[in-house]
A and B are shown apart, each in its own frame.
Chain A
Amino acid sequence: MALKASQLKVGETHTARIVEDLKRTQIVQYAGASGDYNPLHTDEVFTTKVAGYPSVFAHGMLTMGMTGKMLTDYVGDARLTKYGVRFTSQVWPGDTLEATATVKAIDGDRVELDVSTRNQAGVEVLSGYAEARIDP
């Protein structure tokens, strides 16, 4: 499943819908698995009445994790060598996200990718990069 340098082109993209209508329960699931129980993500009462947000919102790391599935589905398992992101906007329950990897450079047995995830309104919620090992 790994990518082949001989078949890759700079500018080529891979896009995947990584979540449709994000549920609060999935955010709870992520809190439990990751160990980040910040009530901002799971406690509507605290988040609206104390923190001043319109509702709970997803962990940035949940968006990075879901975007990671797009990446590993594209480059293959155990092939990532680097993956880094900035969280550029919040992700809310009900959001539908699409993640895109764009081939930025191919260098021998490595590919460099730009990574971007957008919500249903087209707002970028995550912006980053990845690097993966590829076959010849």
Chain B
Amino acid sequence: MVAKRFPIEAGHIMMFARSVGDDNPIYYDADYAQTTEAGSVIAPPTFPQSSAQFDPDYFLRPKIGQPWFGSGKTPTGVQRAAGGGGGGGGGGLHAEQHFEYHRHLKPGDVLTATVKPGKTWEKEGRRSGKLIFSESITEYRDQNGELVITARGVGVRTERPVDQPAQKSETAEA
């Protein structure tokens, strides 16, 4: 995902923290946060993923006037994308995610993201047929041009949906 401009906003941090079940006041109470080592509200560790909100073309968000593959009158609003994908046309599943924090994000930061493609590889999976992995590296820089977060994601496309029930793990979701 590419967010040309990813403004870090207090309300967004609060909603994100709630959604992951984290009620730590460092994520919403500026007065409390001032008294801590962090010195201000900060963002939770996986917050950079929500830069998708600021990617105008993010493909997993419905766009006004465009077909959407989720259900409405019919179970899907578009014909199934060719080539499987295992995720039902959603572009596959999330296999890995890695973050390096050079510093933690706070409200008022304005990030820019640069995405570099990484490796791709294949593997035969027991529960979902052939797996095709692809990696991408996103560097987030702040308003001063400093590198603040390095994120590495690995996506996987499967030949068919992952077999259930999940007894032993191999690869799955996202």
Contacts and interface: CB of A to CB of B under 8 A. Distances in A.
A20 to B, nearest CB: 10
B171 A68 contact: no
B100 interface: yes
Interface in B1-43: 12, 15-16, 18-22, 24, 26, 36-38, 42
Interface residues of B, number: 61
B9 to A, nearest CB: 12
Contact of B44 (A50, A51, A65, A76): A65
Interface string A87-116: 111110000000000000000000000000
B69 A39 contact: yes
Given A68-B45, A84-B152, A78 B19 contact: no
Contacts of A61: 46, 49, 94, 97, 174
Contacts of A50: 69, 71, 75-76, 80, 88-89
A72 B36 CA distance: 14
A38 B173 CA distance: 12
B37 A76 contact: yes
B90 A38 contact: yes
Contact of A89 (B16, B18, B172): B172
Given A77-B36, A80-B101, A83-B99, A53 B166 contact: no
A40 B98 CA distance: 22
Main secondary structure of the interface of A (DSSP, over half): mixed
B96 interface: yes
Interface in A53-80: 53-54, 57-62, 64-66, 68-69, 71-73, 76-78, 80
Nearest to A64: B46
Given A37-B62, A68-B46, A52 B16 contact: no
Given A38-B60, A68-B22, 12 more contacts: A30-B19, A49-B71, A50-B88, A50-B89, A51-B89, A57-B173, A60-B93, A68-B20, A76-B37, A86-B96, A88-B171, A127-B169
